[in-house]
Structure 1
Amino acid sequence: MNYELVFTTSEEQFCALLDERFQADLNESAPVTANDWATRGWQQRLLEVFGWTVRRWL
């Protein structure tokens, strides 16, 4: 299931705050290439399996 939210507001201060937070997150992010994803280690893959297994309780 894809959990998406579409939100609309005309409150300028709130929009500015959301934009500021998004830009902060974007500045801390790193691109992931197809090669990065394909060559990730077994520890990361194990963590992903664990996460998918317990996601319903999180």
Structure 2
Amino acid sequence: MAAATKRMQGKAGRADFEKQKRGQWVYDGEVGAGARVFDVKVDTEKGMASTTAQFRCRPIDPR
């Protein structure tokens, strides 16, 4: 997940080690950067991160 946190300039959240349908092993996880959360996959052979989705976090209403 270090490759993903460096690319997204954020902090790693959850991460799972999964085998893809093509037989490739990847880390599937989330990286938070400010008010944004990125869903990322990291190729374990190449050490490259790719973003699959981006979400915006809303502040919690203190009421």
**Structure with the largest fraction of strand:** 2
Please classify the TM superposition score into its range, dividing by the shorter chain length: under 0.3
Q: Structure 1-normalised TM-score?
A: 0.20
Q: Structure 2-normalised TM-score?
A: 0.19
